[in-house]
Copies of this chain bind each other. A is one copy, B any other.
Amino acid sequence: MFHHTVLMNLRDADAPFVAGTEAFAARVRAELPYVRDYHFGRNVASRAAQFGWVVIATFDDARDHERYQVSPVHQQMKAFMAPHIAEVVACDVELPARGSPR
């Protein structure tokens, strides 16, 4: 399983912006059958620092993650969000199947 996590420091994350971003996340889930899970929401960690929002996505492998990166719906979502993104840190990890050697 490939885990893709994007921690974001958002500016002016008002209700219309949050609703618009959630609508894009729903489109990603509905339109990209190779996306295993996809979620936009609050980072509730006590050590979140300035990164109060997150996108978490899981894929079967790195290739499906690359397909998502270049998909039209993700490109549109990025353009919609861009004016509100003050800072981003990403985390990509390929997790071995449980029980396999690491």
Report which of B56, B93, B95 forms a contact with A95, defined as CB distance below 8 A: B56
Q: How far is the CA of A51 from the CA of B93 in the complex (A)?
A: 12
Q: How many copies does the complex hold?
A: 2
**Min distance, Cβ A102 to any Cβ of chain B, angstroms:** 7
Q: A3-B56, A56-B3 are in contact. Are A43 and B91 (CB under 8 A)?
A: yes
For residue A95, which residues in chain B have a CB less than 8 angstroms away from its CB? 37, 39, 56
Are the C-beta atoms of A39 and B93 separated by less than 8 Å?
yes
**CB atoms of A90 and B48 under 8 A apart:** yes
The complex places the Cα of A5 from the Cα of B50 at a distance, in Å, of 15
11 CB contacts below 8 A, A to B, read A1-B37, A3-B5, A7-B89, A7-B91, A22-B102, A39-B96, A43-B93, A45-B90, A45-B91, A46-B90, A48-B90
* Chain A residues within 8 Å of B, Cβ to Cβ: 1, 3-7, 22, 25-26, 29, 37, 39, 41-49, 51, 54, 56, 88-96, 98, 102
